Structure 1
């Protein structure tokens, strides 16, 4: 006879499923794998937003099984033998996409618009690494692997806004600000002010600056160290943007923050994207 053997969450509630407990165990192990130092139980509860009682029970089980070690100060760390398995099952980009895709699908379904994930290249331009395409007949789409300019695209600007200023100086010194459309910002001073604005409010908006007929809202994705490692873009056509603008802002910021959390970013650290729109 076959039976499932799992780690109990200690709640004693028959309505708590094995699947839910398994997901929490994976979340705990992945979160610990990304930390530079052990975490106290209160930190795990705050970061993961799990109930304290069930988190304690899960940690006790993980310690007894050897997946997690507890130090003399009652702080927890993943056992070194398992860190790489939960930190880098493959190269970072593969892990990023694996974490992001389910979240992007939710954002796509909620907005009805295309959702794109991009990373920054050494050139400081952005490269598309994942997408969930809108089901609507008229929609925005781009091919994976495409490079888009750091200064003119909504994704490129988010990444540029969070890049070391010295590297931004070098980028602007070597990059002609070529207009892709009549609306493209080509004045360096205006662009620098916009990058500061993006960094302050936590998202970027582009309306027909990179391509006529295309609009988008993008927000930054942070890793456990608070470094911006990617950006999420909700992309649409200009005909729908006016009425969808606020919903797209909220969706882009929410998706970016959720992916950041999956990468080990701690909410409330002061670096997550915001969603209050300001005029500029």
Structure 2
């Protein structure tokens, strides 16, 4: 019984977080039906969940329009984490600039315990459950993040993830380390993503967690196209992420250089 209750609690907590994260993808207000479809929840459960968040002060409910929108309490939840990146808007400004200039989907991700998590997305119309750019080892965001740690750490992670991998998902450690070395030398990672490719690099000066930013591009994009994307990223980095005297050099200096 205890295990069952724990499973139910975890499921409920995940749904609350997915509802709050959904608003970060662009919609400012939604109906119960829209949220139910986007998150693939039963409509009755969605209605109950949204009503509970209204009671707790995290959502407002417009009875006439039958819509829900987040309150400022949501914005305050993580305001103490990475103030330069989030509270003062630097990361969001970078993402918005790159999305506006390229018209492409822009994704920011982080890795935790070998799992790739999406932090922020701009320009994506897909439901939230379809936004993940792939497993850590096989995604451009994951490869960019792994390029920022040592080879022994990458090798250890490969062995653990290979042991948990499904069919066709494991990688050869030696070959994969060569791929990561190429990412470090080139300054960015490139991997398939949703019918195209994603070009990704480490987001400079991200604290307290390492973050990578990726731009979804056509599969037939040329090297010149890659260079245009990199130039766009550099401009956004220089404008919004000027380094302080206490910030260490980032690993992908070829892309993240502020000068």
Question: What is the distance in 2 between the residues matched to 1:265 and 1:216?
Answer: 32
Residue pair 2:205, 2:250 contacting (<8 A) in 1 also: no
Larger Rg belongs to? 1
Partner of 1:174: 160
Residue pair 2:144, 2:202 contacting (<8 A) in 1 also: yes
Query: CA 1:154/1:147 → structure 2, altered by over 3 Å: closer, same or farther?
Result: closer
TM-aligned CA deviation for residue 178 of structure 1: 5.3
Q: Which of the residues 248, 260, 267 maps onto 2:229?
A: 248
Alignment of 1:1-280 (within 5 A): 89-92=79-82, 95-97=84-86, 98-121=89-112, 123-133=113-123, 146=132, 148-176=134-162, 186-206=171-191, 208=192, 211=193, 213-223=195-205, 229-238=210-219, 241-242=221-222, 244-256=225-237, 260-261=241-242, 264=244, 269=249, 271-275=251-255
Question: What is the distance in 1 between the residues matched to 2:103 and 2:131?
Answer: 23
TM-score, normalization by structure 2: 0.54
Question: What is the distance in 1 between the residues matched to 2:245 and 2:216?
Answer: 25
TM-score, normalization by structure 1: 0.50
Question: What is the distance in 1 between the residues matched to 2:105 and 2:90?
Answer: 17
Residue pair 1:218, 1:252 contacting (<8 A) in 2 also: no
Larger helix proportion of the pair: 2
Question: What is the distance in 1 between the residues matched to 2:95 and 2:245?
Answer: 18
Secondary structure in structure 2 of the residue aligned to 1:222? coil
Question: What is the distance in 2 between the residues matched to 1:131 and 1:91?
Answer: 18
TM-aligned CA deviation for residue 267 of structure 1: 8.8
Indicate the RMSD between aligned Cα atoms, in angstroms.
3.8
Secondary structure in structure 2 of the residue aligned to 1:96? coil
Question: What is the distance in 2 between the residues matched to 1:175 and 1:106?
Answer: 35
TM-aligned CA deviation for residue 119 of structure 1: 1.4
TM-aligned CA deviation for residue 95 of structure 1: 4.8
Count of residues paired in the alignment: 174
Query: CA 1:221/1:249 → structure 2, altered by over 3 Å: closer, same or farther?
Result: same
Partner of 2:12: none
Question: What is the distance in 2 between the residues matched to 1:109 and 1:257?
Answer: 16
Question: What is the distance in 2 between the residues matched to 1:167 and 1:244?
Answer: 32
Question: What is the distance in 2 between the residues matched to 1:185 and 1:250?
Answer: 34
Question: What is the distance in 2 between the residues matched to 1:102 and 1:195?
Answer: 28
TM-aligned CA deviation for residue 216 of structure 1: 1.0
Residue pair 1:107, 1:255 contacting (<8 A) in 2 also: yes
Deviations 1:207-252 (A, max 9, x none): x2xx451201111123389x9711111113426x347333223334
